[in-house]
Amino acid sequence: MPGIIEVENKSKRFLEIPGVIGYVVVSNEDGTMISAGGKIPNAIDETVAFIGSASDVITTTLQTGTLDYVVASGDRNLLLVVLDKYFIGCVYNGEPEHIKTEILDLLKEGDKTGDPKILRLFKAKAYQLNLILEEFSRDIGIKVWETFISQVISAMDTEKKFQSLIKVSDGKIIPIGAINLTAEDVNKFMKVLIDAVVKHGVKKFGSEEAKKRVHNVIEKLGAAKKKVKNG
């Protein structure tokens, strides 16, 4: 498992895991909070440190072997992942075993950040596409679009440059890195993807309705830029 600093950096991506509402990472040595994010109750770091320490005592006393995660149910569902140097607590909805696996897989990943400027470009383009998906999913739901997007990405990413750098979750395109990508790669890939979504929207809603929804996106982008400019 990675060290404390790497976990602190990667923990921000726990919120990308479907079902994770909030998280906290604490040291299992002194209960110090290392990182936190999302919607979490007060003093969750103390709760996670207490349950994590108690799990060590229980397994030692009962000789049940090592616990790799603990689930606590109440007003909120809490998943505690027990690791060598830290405890990870997640407030969640969904299947805890799946979430635990996703967390461990994320921590095992190598650094995919790449050039920060390219990653920012990638995220900006993804934001535009996500606004279009939000508009096009009105009245028909997002699942149709998730399936379509996944199919298009699979078909167009013939060189497998983006396969491990992009995630489709909850109706959104989530860039998770930009390693080995250039600005040209990102612009070309996202243009083809956006064009494919718009064309599919025309087929579903007709030209006029699709244009209205795209116009709504353009207005949202313009308002966002104006807000940033005015501070």
Query: Is 192's pLDDT higher than 90?
Result: yes
Contact at 8 Å (CB) between 90 and 15? Answer: no
**Measured between alpha carbons, how far is residue 6 from residues 9, 24, 104, 108 in Å?**
5, 15, 13, 10
Band the pLDDT of 5: cuts 50, 70, 90: low
Q: Summarize pLDDT for 61-70 with one digit per residue, the tens.
A: 766 667 788 8
Query: CA-based Rg of the chain, rounded to a whole angstrom?
Result: 21
Count, residues in the chain: 231
Query: Is 9's pLDDT higher than 60?
Result: yes
**Among candidate residues 47, 36, 99, the one with its CA nearest the CA of residue 74:** 47
Residue 199: what pLDDT?
95
Q: Summarize pLDDT for 144-154 with one digit per residue, the tens.
A: 888 899 899 98
The token duo for 152 is 């298009």
Residue 193: what pLDDT?
94
> What dihedral do alpha carbons 125, 131, 136, 138 form, nearest 10°?
160
Return d(Cα 129, Cα 185) in angstroms, integer: 16
Give, in degrees to the nearest 5, the angle at Cα 55 between 49 and 57. 105
